[in-house]
A and B are shown apart, each in its own frame.
Chain A
Amino acid sequence: MPEANTPVFRRAVIALNGGPIDSYMVRLALEVTRHTHAELIAVHVVELDWTQPLDADVATEEAQRVLDAAEGIAEVMHGKLESVLIQARDVGAAIVDEAAARDADLLILGLPYRTRFGGDFAIGRAVPYAFQNAPCAVWVVREPMGEESK
């Protein structure tokens, strides 16, 4: 018997990658949670390779700007948004771990429309990782195809 009620989220984590889909995701999340007053957490992960220590001072102004832009959208839409900047070796694991640590019941990820050489769709590593490991619901927002891809 399918549930008749719309699912209600208490806490959602939005993973931002600094791309054009970010503002769309933030607006969508704010709109979805407008009436439920769910807590929104924007997470941006700066990926570090193994040549640098995990606490290296590499989080640039640009990384800060990704989260500041999200906060700006929330302010304009009169919503509340907490922002978290993370340094990690693997983006997918960091996002899922942060969502789990915060007991989120929704994880929203953005996915750029990219194709590999040969034409196959490239889904990257973070989304499959989240699908396999996130304890909560996962939404993936794929950006629209470019004109040349259509």
Chain B
Amino acid sequence: MQMHSLAFDVSHTLAGGLVLISFMMLYQDRLYSLLNVFALHAVVLSLSVAWQAFVQDAPHLYITAIIALVFKAIVIPVALHRIVKQLGIHRDIEAAVGIGPTMLAGMALVALSMVLMLRVTADADPLAREDLAFALSVVLLGLLVMVTRRNAVSQVVGFMSLENGLVLAATGAKGMPLVVEISVAFSILIAFIVIGIFLFRIRERFDSVDVSALDDFRGERR
């Protein structure tokens, strides 16, 4: 019983920590600091996955933890640092929406996911239940980062934090098959995105907010 409650407390702390770090991402207005916070996010995720591997006695989850640590906490942030430097966008302040409204929206999303998940999973075991609620919060906050940023690099960071939430949910679901395969598939997907940014030097979704440029892009100018 003692062991069980320790297992519960540690995974609860780590999952809650992920939500907190997701919030930290919302108010970073420099790309470098955003990347640093994301690296921290990945480290906490890898700790959380490793803890689940230990608690559930599922050694294959250690692979997912190592992928999270090596790939997402080290390789990708370093690569993105270099890209930001090469594109010369490290001084950009690029939030499309102000910090205040973003934080409020973030709180609303977390409240929403808590209410939703805790209510529908009333019968599930408490560990999986809270894990799922935290995971949905991380997913929605990642989505919020993607929506409130215009820069391609920070959109990718938002997507990766969203994906961290999915890994959290998948490892929290005890005995779920294919978790390792799915985390590998996601890593490949992210590697493709990062290579894409690097090769094609995508800075923003649209280079200009000029509507006529948009019309031109859609091929709709007469």
Please say whether chains A and B are actual partners in one complex.
no
Give the interface of A toward B (CB within 8 A). none
Give the interface of B toward A (CB within 8 A). none
